[in-house]
Structure 1
Amino acid sequence: MNDSFAFSNTCKRRTAISGFTLLELMITLAIVALLTVIAMPSYRSYVLRSHRSDAYAALTQDQAILERCYAQNYSYSQTCAALPVFPQTSAQNFYTVVLTQSATSYLLTATPSGSQLADTACASLSIDQTNSKTALDSQGVASASCWGQ
């Protein structure tokens, strides 16, 4: 009789089922979706700020060429063989650089192009012969935060 009792207990025992329930999966997906909604704008902002280095590099390189030409010709308006053709596209194609020059001054301005057009906080970055750096947002208002990032 003991044997039949042991046999009936083993038949009634439930084996543990491993895996996820539908509810657990739905909760996990909801958490992932919430984190994505929160993180994506921050990530996009970071990417736009990191692409500004393309403008800094293009402006600095062109500024060095202009200063070299000025040292040789005592004028910014003289043509110099090393001077690139303007408007110029930055190395990674995120900015277009334009040169406005006279005999004694110049202004290099980088404006976003392509995917960088979404950067409305720094829509224009400029530098002149005195190394004065200015930045404007998409509304034309001066933005002090663009040149330090």
Structure 2
Amino acid sequence: MEVMIVVVIVGILLAVALPSYNSSLEKGRRADAKAALLDASNRQEQFMLDRSTYTLNMTELGFGADPMVSEEGHYTVDAAACAAGTIQRCYVLTATPVAGGAQANDTRCTTLILDSTGAKTATGSDLNNCW
């Protein structure tokens, strides 16, 4: 009987703690996306200084693939022209979780976005806490 009570208590603790633990892991893995976005942004600015334009091709920035895969492999980062102009004047970098990866179920911050003005935005259900 005592063993059954212990099993029930452990089950209740796991039911409460596991979602919180998973949420903490997702939040920690978002740092991978932030680092990749900042690295790509720095390379875009250097590319602009060298060639007087930005680029949509991540391999031109020195990454191995287009879209580039973040260091820890949780996100892909790709470049696009901003809505107000062309790639010669501005860019938008978007970090998207790798399909089937550890971050694929992160509904709080589904994508993280950084543009050439330095504006940091996101999509998902908890936009105020993504960055």
TM-score for both structures, normalised by structure 2: 0.84
What does residue 106 of structure 2 align with? Answer: 119
Tell me the distance in 1 between the aligned counterparts of 2:130 and 2:56: 31
What does residue 84 of structure 2 align with? Answer: none
Residue 104 of structure 1: which of 89, 97, 106 is its match? Answer: 89
| Alpha-carbon shift at residue 83 of structure 1 (Å) | 3.5
Equivalent pair of 1:78/1:103 in contact (CA under 8 Å): no
Pick closer, same or farther for the CA change 1:78–1:134 going to 2, 3 Å.
Answer: closer
Counterpart residue type for residue 57 of structure 1: A
Counterpart residue type for residue 49 of structure 1: K
Counterpart residue type for residue 144 of structure 1: N
Pick closer, same or farther for the CA change 1:74–1:33 going to 2, 3 Å.
Answer: same
Counterpart residue type for residue 130 of structure 2: C
Residue 73 of structure 1: which of 51, 68, 82 is its match? Answer: 51
Which stretches in structure 1 are left out of the alignment for 5+ residues?
A: 1-22
Residue 83 of structure 1: which of 53, 62, 66 is its match? Answer: 62
Pick closer, same or farther for the CA change 1:106–1:53 going to 2, 3 Å.
Answer: same
Counterpart residue type for residue 111 of structure 2: S
Equivalent pair of 1:96/1:111 in contact (CA under 8 Å): yes
What does residue 62 of structure 1 align with? Answer: 40
Equivalent pair of 2:69/2:77 in contact (CA under 8 Å): yes
What do you get for the CA RMSD once the two structures are aligned?
2.0
Judging by fraction of residues, say which structure has more helix. Answer: 1
Pick closer, same or farther for the CA change 1:70–1:109 going to 2, 3 Å.
Answer: same
Deviations along 1:33-61, whole A, 9 cap, x unmatched?
Answer: 11011100000111111110010010011
Which stretches in structure 2 are left out of the alignment for 5+ residues?
A: 82-86
From the CA coordinates, give the structure whose radius of gyration is larger: 1
Equivalent pair of 1:99/1:106 in contact (CA under 8 Å): yes
Residue 132 of structure 1: which of 114, 119, 123 is its match? Answer: 119
TM-score for both structures, normalised by structure 1: 0.75
Counterpart residue type for residue 146 of structure 1: C
